[in-house]
Amino acid sequence: MVAGLKSALANKPQKRPVDDKLTTADRINVKIERYALLLRGAPIAAIVSLCNALITLVVAWGRVDPLAIGVWAIAVILLSLFRLILWRRFSKTQAAGRGLLRFTKIHVVAMAINGVLWGSIAPIFAISGMMSNAFLPFIIAGMTAAALASAAASWRSVLAFNVPALGAAAVSYGVFAEHDGLLIAAVIVLYGIATGYLAYTTQQMIVRSIRLRSRNDHLLAALTKQVDAAHEAEQRFRALVESSTEVTLIFSPEGSVTYASPATEVAIGAPPQNIVGMSTQDLVHPDDFAQFRAVGGKSLSKIGEVVPLLHVCMRAQGGEYVNLAGRLTNMLYVPGVEGFVFTGAKVDDKACRHLPAAE
């Protein structure tokens, strides 16, 4: 078992880098998609920050210096409103390319300022002797989680908020907390590392999903192009066959006619729809049936092989027979054909005049 486990680990395929074999255009498209996701998630973080600022103001009012908590709350609210206005402006203009890049730069700066503001709430609580209040770690953890949920498309945006917010909280607990301050500070640091790693891996997953979708779009476009080309080729081939004066018949492996070109009516005197469904025995005169079958058997040896058929009498309208000459091609494994293709033309009828009419 151990040997098998070692072998499996040794043969484990290496993880391919996210940007492996990406063109410059692909990298730009991935960034644009990520920035677009960041733009869509921006209002969530701003609204969460605004609501939590009001809740913090209500909880801390009367327990913390009113001037300090009031100035802090106003700053957070104004920043949240600015972020909402910023989001509204860029989303209304349907920003793309350079516009999304500009929004992302401003958004990251705003996230960093917001992180500084939410980090400053820890020393404000500490000076007021509220470090033991369970509301502080709860609100800080909630804000970092909101940053992760709304800005996961850019892990730098998450770090821009989490580093100042959690850093200030860790320092405040380490300096001002009376009991287990250093232990709590260490937990906050580990929490910050975990959220940073989670933000990075989430961004990588988003990038891979964008690449996969882009690759599927390319494949779908290529497939659609091939289908259109095949349909066009089929239409062109059908037009050539149906406008040709040569008779084209397709016989299934069982020996029944699956297709008859319009020229069949001129040569044989029977409409194509009357020919389709007839068996080889019904169509070919018994004296020529063995020859026709032998030629078909010979063409089985190789796909695409063409075997000449110099003489075959086929039944015409009214039971008479007409003489055809042409070639038999093996197309059993060609999709859409899947049979033997006889192509030929009507020749001197004297060769079949001596044959009795079919009853």
- Write the pLDDT tens digit of every residue in 34-84: 888 888 888 988 999 999 999 989 888 888 888 988 999 999 999 999 999
Query: So what's the pLDDT on residue 263?
Result: 85
Q: What three-state secondary structure class fits 323?
A: strand
**Which single residue is written with the structure tokens 């609204």?**
47
Give long-range contacts, CB 8 A cutoff, 24+ apart: 268-275. Answer: 268/314, 268/315, 268/316, 268/317, 268/322, 269/316, 269/317, 269/318, 269/322, 270/316, 270/317, 275/249
CA torsion sign for 176, 178, 183, 188 is: negative
Share of the chain above pLDDT 70, in %: 83
61 vs 309, residue with greater confidence: 61
Give the span between the Cα atoms of 201 and 205, in whole angstroms.
6
pLDDT tens-place string over residues 119-137 = 888 888 888 877 777 788 8
pLDDT class for 243, splitting at 50, 70, 90? low
Contact by Cβ (8 Å): 306, 329: yes
Q: Is 273 exposed, middle or buried (0-12, 13-18, 19+ CB in 10 A)?
A: exposed
pLDDT class for 4, splitting at 50, 70, 90? very low
Nearest CA among 157, 160, 184, 159 for reference residue 172: 184
The top-scoring range by mean pLDDT among 47-51, 123-127, 194-198, 236-240 is: 47-51
For residue 247, what are the β-bridge partners?
A: 344
pLDDT tens-place string over residues 323-348 = 888 888 888 877 777 888 888 888 87
Contact by Cβ (8 Å): 153, 30: no
Query: So what's the pLDDT on residue 76?
Result: 93
Contact by Cβ (8 Å): 69, 17: no
pLDDT tens-place string over residues 156-186 = 888 888 899 988 888 888 888 777 778 888 8
